[in-house]
Structure 1
Amino acid sequence: MLVGYVRVSKADGSQTTDLQRDALLAAGVRSESVYEDKASGKRDDRPQLAACLKALRHGDTLVAWKLDRLGRDLRHLVNIVHELTERGIGLKVLTGQGAAIDTTTASGKLVFGIFAALAEYERELIRERTIAGLASARARGRTGGRPYKMTPAKLRLAMASMGKPETRVGDLCAELGITRQTLYRHVSPTGQLRPDGEKLLAKGR
């Protein structure tokens, strides 16, 4: 069974999902199997995406118009597809830069494997840069300025690390030089941004 997901960023009526819906219907998705959100892609609270993922069953295929309609970022997208793959569910992207992705085919799985490798590479780069920066500061006798302060670099590392089975929260906090309270105020146990985290990244842009 094909299940579709569509999204526009604004809920004020200035944007519509008509183009996305038409593309999904042309691809064979039934109208009653299309889930729709009107929210920024960076928001965690997308109830229809959550409902869509919950409704999918083994053997189904999730169909999206473009990659940016589905994931907040590459890491989030990779996590979604890993979860779907473990459940025996495919992903097909109809257009845009991710149009080659169809995890129900061998070539599509290969393309997504490259995406996953890039996401892991990005995570490791962030980790290495953060650790190097902290070590350099300690070598100069600095402890990072104000204690327990979260920075955009630390937050990105925390997002990449949280939710992974091998991550020990205590060790992560010690590595970043923050408290558990500071960590959980900015990011959830599954690595999702919380309001304080969103504000911090917005200031860093």
Structure 2
Amino acid sequence: MIGYKRVSTKAQDAQLQADALAEAGCARVFEDKASGKNIDRAGLLAALDYMREGDTFVVWKLDRLGRSTKDVLTIAEDLHARGIALRILAGTLAGSYSPKGEGKFFFTMMVAFAEIERDMIVECTRAGLEAAKAQGRTSGRPKAMTEEMIAAAKARRAAGESYGAIAKALGVGQATVYRHLSE
């Protein structure tokens, strides 16, 4: 059994996937820290190249394999044609992929539903962010300096005070003062 784990960004952790793949008995695990939008992922390509007939390709959840119905089905069909089984450990499609008859139909429908679900999540997130913006709320990290602090920093700088002294007086970093005064 050959495992594959993927997270979308370097800031994310794949430990949950790693634990599940180890518990499933994967002899080797390949990894990517990249979006599932493209199939040109180094870890995925290395795993697909490494596997031989009789192996089982194991992923934690179907969405770790890919985001689009077409890409996931292409990978699954390629695996089947090479005599490699596909096993999904968690989620709606937990189990092994059967590329025949009802199994193929069910797999195809569930992959399509997973893609639609992701699209709906993205759409809802965008709508929520736009609604919050329309109400004057912003997302992300709060600004380090208020308008009053910037005005005070400008006055202190005009009086000849150093960036370091201004930063200390305002309780922010020197780079923050420099950045706000140079804008």
Q: What TM-score do you get using the length of structure 1 for normalisation?
A: 0.50
Q: CA deviation at 1:45?
A: 2.9
Residue of structure 1 in register with 2:83 after alignment: 88
Say what the alpha-carbon RMSD is for the aligned residues: 2.4
Residue of structure 1 in register with 2:19 after alignment: 22
Query: Could you say if the C-alpha distance between residues 83 and 22 of structure 1 is closer, same or farther in structure 2, counting changes exceeding 3 Å?
Result: same
Q: CA deviation at 1:86?
A: 0.5
Residue of structure 2 in register with 1:64 after alignment: 59
Query: Could you say if the C-alpha distance between residues 23 and 80 of structure 1 is closer, same or farther in structure 2, counting changes exceeding 3 Å?
Result: same
Contact 1:74/1:115, CA 8 A, preserved across alignment: no
Query: Could you say if the C-alpha distance between residues 29 and 119 of structure 1 is closer, same or farther in structure 2, counting changes exceeding 3 Å?
Result: closer
What per-residue deviation string (whole Å, max 9, x for no partner) do you get for residues 164-205 of structure 1?
A: xxxxxxxxxxxxxxxxxxxxxxxxxxxxxxxxxxxxxxxxxx
Q: CA deviation at 1:94?
A: 0.3
**Deviant stretches of 4+, over 4 Å:** 117-120
Query: Could you say if the C-alpha distance between residues 77 and 109 of structure 1 is closer, same or farther in structure 2, counting changes exceeding 3 Å?
Result: farther
Unaligned runs of at least 5 residues, structure 1? 121-205
Identity %: 44
Unaligned runs of at least 5 residues, structure 2? 113-183
Q: What TM-score do you get using the length of structure 2 for normalisation?
A: 0.55
Summarize the alignment of residues 166-177 of structure 1 with structure 2, pairs less than 5 Å apart: none
Summarize the alignment of residues 92-171 of structure 1 with structure 2, pairs less than 5 Å apart: 92-99=87-94, 101-103=95-97, 110-116=102-108
Contact 1:4/1:29, CA 8 A, preserved across alignment: yes
Residue of structure 2 in register with 1:40 after alignment: 35
Letter of the 1:26 counterpart: E
Q: CA deviation at 1:74?
A: 1.3
Quick one: distance in 1 between partners of 2:111 and 2:33? 26
Quick one: distance in 2 between partners of 1:45 and 1:21? 21
Quick one: distance in 2 between partners of 1:118 and 1:42? 18
Residue of structure 1 in register with 2:72 after alignment: 77
Larger radius of gyration: 2
